[in-house]
Amino acid sequence: MKLELEEIALGYAQRHARTRLLAEHLSLCAPEGELTALLGRNGVGKSTLLRVLAGVRPPLAGRVLLDGREVASMTARERAARIAFVTTEPVAAAHLRVREVVSMGRAPYTGWFGTLSPEDERIVGESLERVGMAAFRDKTLESLSDGERQRVMIARALAQDTPLVLLDEPTAFLDLPNRYQIALLLRELAHDTGKSVVYSSHDLSTAVQLCDALWVMTPEGVAAGAPEDLLRSGRLNAMFDGTPLTLTPEGTVRLEQEKERTVKIPAATDPQTTALLTGVAARCGFRVVAGETAPADCSIALSADGTFSVSDARSGTVGTAGDFHALAALLRRSGTVR
């Protein structure tokens, strides 16, 4: 089931003021079987856009379509059978058991009393298995870690069995391994089941590595495409306009500092050591220059035993260092840190 946005405008009413416009003329598409990350800085409207996609907030203009049908025309029950929305709001009843929380996903298909059929029970069990939480089914939500709770919320969305899954910052507050695990889980969900999965995030590195498509939201609009296309075009850098941050061609965020002094590093080092030397030099305010005869304010030499020595072009040898921490101290001591 394909998700389409046609000329969407986002915003909200303010007390005693005109409506605040967040974005307009948004025309996007999230095909089935793909994982899409919605990226952008705080306050740009990511959560508002997800709520519009879920049908719980109307757009100021435009239409949201699922397989050609307007979401705004659907009843609440019809939306619940087509769209699962995992918000950032915690479940109110933390004492509920994991299986009870996941069972809530079957609400669109059960009767008034919420009695689960054998088929419902099977779907709940399979959802827990898919996210690796079957062994936790009888534990209470409050006894779980943040990463485990997030898996439970994803299992609830799975149990809802919808073609579209929306998640608002599912990796927020998680450590790095858990952020990758959740993103991998979402990618597997999209690829294995054919669902369209859209989630918002500030984790650019994970999104670039794992997502099929990115929606990069700025005050000027949304740039959409494969991570590689957005990197090549430079449109991902729009997230960092007005900041000293920039993106490398590989998608790594770098802090651009003014570097008034230059340094030469050993040419015959392995690639990792070269990268590490370049990094420590940049952190200490140096720009690396290449070539044996190239003039530089400072140079770093590496001995056979792994010891570094730093020489200043004006004052001579500054000292030796046995590790990068000590090397950085030597560079700072040469008076180069701003």
Residue by residue, pLDDT tens for the chain (338 residues) are 789 999 999 988 777 667 888 999 999 999 999 999 999 999 899 999 999 999 999 999 999 999 999 999 999 999 999 999 999 877 666 689 999 999 999 998 887 667 899 999 999 999 999 999 999 999 999 999 988 999 999 999 999 999 999 999 999 888 889 899 999 999 999 999 999 999 999 999 899 999 999 999 998 889 999 999 998 888 888 888 878 777 777 777 777 766 678 899 887 678 888 889 988 998 888 888 877 677 888 889 999 898 999 988 887 778 899 999 999 999 888 754 33
Whether residues 229 and 147 share a domain: the answer is: yes
Pick the last residue of a domain from 244, 269, 304. Answer: 244
pLDDT for residue 337: 39
- Give the domain-ending residue among 244, 271, 286: 244
- Cβ atoms of 194 and 160 within 8 Å: the answer is no
One domain, residues 202 and 322: no
- Tokens 């306050």: give the residue: 43
- Is the same domain home to 239 and 276? no
Same domain? For 231 and 276 the reply is no
Domain boundary among 215, 244, 273: 244
Q: Is 44 inside any structural domain?
A: yes
Same domain as 235, residue 266 = no
Same-domain status, 73 and 216 = yes
Q: Are residues 269 and 239 part of one domain?
A: no
Predicted pLDDT at 219: 87
At residue 12, the pLDDT reads 81
CATH code, domain carrying 190? 3.40.50.300
Residues 239 and 272 occupy one common structural domain: no
Structurally, the chain folds into a number of domains equal to 2
Closest CA to 40 of 190, 223, 209: 223
Count of Cβ atoms closer than 10 Å to residue 114 Cβ: 12
pLDDT of residue 335: 54
**Structure tokens, 234:** 């430079």
Q: 217 burial class (0-12, 13-18, 19+ CB within 10 angstroms)?
A: buried
Within-domain flag for 281: yes
Do 227 and 267 belong to one domain?
Answer: no
Sorted by sequence, the CB contacts under 8 Å of residue 332 that are 6+ apart come out as 284
CA distance 83 to 165: 6
Same domain, 265 and 146: no
Note whether 126 and 238 are same-domain residues. yes
Residue 253 domain-assigned (yes or no)? no
| Domain membership flag for residue 256 | no
The pLDDT of residue 270: 85
Tell whether 252 is covered by a domain.
no
Do 220 and 154 sit in the same domain of this protein? yes
| Residue 5, C-beta contacts closer than 8 angstroms, at least 6 positions apart | 26, 27, 28, 29, 53, 62, 63, 64, 65
Query: pLDDT per residue over 187-216, tens digit each?
Result: 999 999 999 999 999 999 899 999 999 999
Position 64 in a domain: yes
Report CA-CA distances (Å) from 158 to 128, 177, 195, 299.
9, 22, 10, 57
User: Which domain, by its residues, includes 219?
Assistant: 3-244
Asked whether residue 28 is domain-assigned, the answer is: yes
* Per-residue model confidence (pLDDT) at position 207: 93
> Is residue 338 in some structural domain?
no
CB 309 within 8 A of CB 317: yes
For 65, 107, 146, 148, the CA distances from 170, given in Å and listed in that order, are: 24, 22, 10, 11
